[in-house]
Structure 1
Amino acid sequence: MASNISHVSRVRALFKAILKLHRGLPLEMRSLGDNYVREEFRAHKSAQPQEADIFMQEWTKYYVTLARQLRQRQKQPDIGQHLSPEMLDNFRDEQLGQLHELFTATTKSDPLESTFSSDKGR
């Protein structure tokens, strides 16, 4: 039981730390990132212990990478990370679809366009 409580505390702390870190992103990226983080953490709420460990490791890597990138304080920081073909091969089809949606949403020139175009299918 105590182990479960400490796990929940670590998950909550990482979640809050990521949202706090997102405050350093441009507004449209922050909104997209916050929504994605909320969805992913909610979706993995009842994950098996092994999957939860991998989930926490990957989101911790994300936090460290983004923190390093934001610390550079360039005029237009290069935010993100290139994925190797080997890493992409490990993704499920659903994850590849999500990745493509994120790429499309973050590379559109008009942030409102990405918001409204995603609502059209609803």
Structure 2
Amino acid sequence: MPEPYGVSVFIIDDNETTRAVLRMIIQGELYHVIGEANNGISGLARARKLRPDIVCLDIEMPGYNGLDVLMEIKKTLPNTAVLMVTGSNDRATIVTAIQLGASGFILKPFNSGIVLDTLDKTAALLKPHLKSSS
């Protein structure tokens, strides 16, 4: 059965509540949450397999943190946009994430309007890629 039309999104966050809230905000007609992971290692493996259009990636995770995962995603899935999920506004971390290829940030605590606006802006940048891959 073909996947529903929309932009595919994968969530990587070690906090179950955060994943659930993001999933509830994101899932709809425009966005299809195709999976999630609770750590960087399994998240990276599943993202490589599922090849989502957008990954929502927590920065602070035990073990393989979000910046490590971001570097690997950009190497192996260069057309996948990565939105960093964070509760911190640490300037050095934000600058590093941008230098590593992050497409944007989703700040905690979540505001559904801002999350969807961030996804909309990111998806608009992906449109040429999305059309060429269909």
> Which of the two has greater helix per residue?
1
- Tell me, yes or no, whether TM beats 0.5: no
> Which of the two has greater strand per residue?
2
Larger radius of gyration: 1
Q: Give me the TM-score of the superposition, normalised by structure 1.
A: 0.31
